[in-house]
């Protein structure tokens, strides 16, 4: 297991995995980059789930508001971003999970407020972090986003978790927890924090603390 660097920078992701939270909640300086350029086919607009068929991700449909800009702040949801459709994915995957109904109404309200056509992907992602803070004990004094948000360009090497694959299962190991389809799929690592919340919200922080960095490539 490798120790986390003292200074770390994270991408703004929607309902990120437990590795993201392990980094964010560990001692030392952590920044959330709100100034980076949008990178396609990454966790910036994906929510990683698990259903009866195994590991999956929900892609949030986006496009650039300004064709000349690649900034995350200029990426917005397309007309295909329909809250009921997104929630259907969660219902299919987690309707049998012990705590899904506990969060279902609040999560639907979140998508209706932040996840509609024309809304900002960046604001959605930051709001998802605040929502998780409200619903769990994955929080910092003063608010994770408010304390950590970074608004100017920054370059880092070790400790830069914005790089593609830096939050992947190849880099992180996770403590096993019971998943509803584990009998057919085995334990599926690296799912969204929502996966853990739907199964046992009171244990999510402990599971984060027992998530470990295998390696960090420069």
Identify the band that residue 1 occupies on the pLDDT scale cut at 50, 70 and 90. low
What is the Cα–Cα distance from 139 to 152, expressed in whole angstroms?
24
* Residue 218 domain flag: no
pTM of the prediction? 0.93
Owning domain of residue 94: 7-213
* Residue 2 domain flag: no
Compute φ and ψ for 66, nearest 5 degrees: -120, 115
Cβ atoms < 10 Å from Cβ of 125:
25
- Candidates 85, 103, 81; CA nearest to 94 is 103
What is the Cα–Cα distance from 44 to 39, expressed in whole angstroms?
7
* Residue 106 domain flag: yes
* Residue 209 domain flag: yes
pLDDT of 94 above 50 = yes
pLDDT of 218 above 60 = no
Q: Quick one: which H or E segment has residue 30?
A: strand 29-33
* Residue 90 domain flag: yes
Residue range 118-147, pLDDT digits in tens: 999 999 999 999 999 999 999 888 888 988
CB 206 within 8 Å of CB 75: no
Question: What total number of domains does the chain contain?
Answer: 1
* Residue 1 domain flag: no
């Amino acid at each position: 297991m490798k120790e986390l660097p003292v200074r770390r920078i994270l991408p703004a992701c929607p309902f990120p995995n437990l590795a993201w939270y392990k980094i964010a909640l560990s001692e030392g300086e952590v920044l959330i980059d709100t100034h980076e350029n949008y990178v396609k086919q990454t966790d910036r607009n994906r929510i990683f789930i698990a259903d009866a068929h195994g590991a999956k991700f929900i892609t949030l449909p986006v496009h650039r508001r300004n064709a000349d800009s690649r900034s995350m702040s200029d990426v917005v949801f397309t007309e295909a971003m329909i809250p009921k459709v997104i929630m259907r994915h969660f219902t299919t995957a987690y309707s049998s999970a012990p705590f899904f109904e506990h969060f279902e109404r609040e999560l639907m309200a979140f998508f209706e407020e932040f996840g509609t056509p024309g809304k900002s992907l960046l604001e959605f992602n930051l709001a998802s972090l605040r929502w998780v803070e409200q619903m769990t004990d994955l929080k910092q004094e003063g608010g994770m986003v408010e304390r950590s948000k970074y608004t100017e360009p920054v370059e880092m090497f070790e400790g830069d978790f914005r790089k593609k694959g830096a939050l992947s299962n190849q880099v992180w190991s996770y403590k096993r927890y019971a998943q509803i389809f584990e009998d057919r799929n085995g334990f599926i690592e690296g799912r969204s924090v929502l996966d853990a919340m739907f199964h046992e919200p009171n244990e999510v922080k402990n599971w984060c603390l027992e998530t470990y960095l295998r390696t960090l490539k420069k």
